[in-house]
Structure 1
């Protein structure tokens, strides 16, 4: 259930990250969703590295980690692709 939970969290976290960091992204909504999914997985990995229990159920702390992971990836994506456009 762990990976599936992070994918579901990632879908929602991608939308939340986009809401927190509004603006035009180079890839559109599909890329933002994919960033959210990968960000959710990154959040799960970060949680386990920083002493979290990982995700076994839907909890608020797990969701926070998924949003953090999505924000990190969205910022990195914007930095890489906005510089290449300039």
Structure 2
């Protein structure tokens, strides 16, 4: 992975994390938090879409997959946080 690809990957991760926070009205989590949530969300979304046999191709499909996974991740974290308190 060259530097340009890495920067694009991190920028998309940050955007995805921010969008997932906006969907769940959680707000932003800072640049590093958004990147982390976006990247993990991409992995979770890829797994969910593979399990559900949904194909998502191209940049838009990848963003939808990552946002779906990030929203699912934040939702689970929110549930865990509520049950722990």
TM-score by length of 1: 0.65
The unaligned stretches of length 5 or more in structure 2 are none
Aligned to 2:25: 22
Q: Is the 8 A contact 1:42 1:66 kept in 2?
A: yes
Change (3 A) 1:10 1:40: farther
Preserved CA contact (<8 Å) 2:13 2:39: yes
Q: Which has the higher contact order (CA 8 A, sep 6+)?
A: 1
Shift of 1:61: 1.2
- RMSD, aligned CA: 3.0
What is the distance in 2 between the residues matched to 1:34 and 1:7? 9
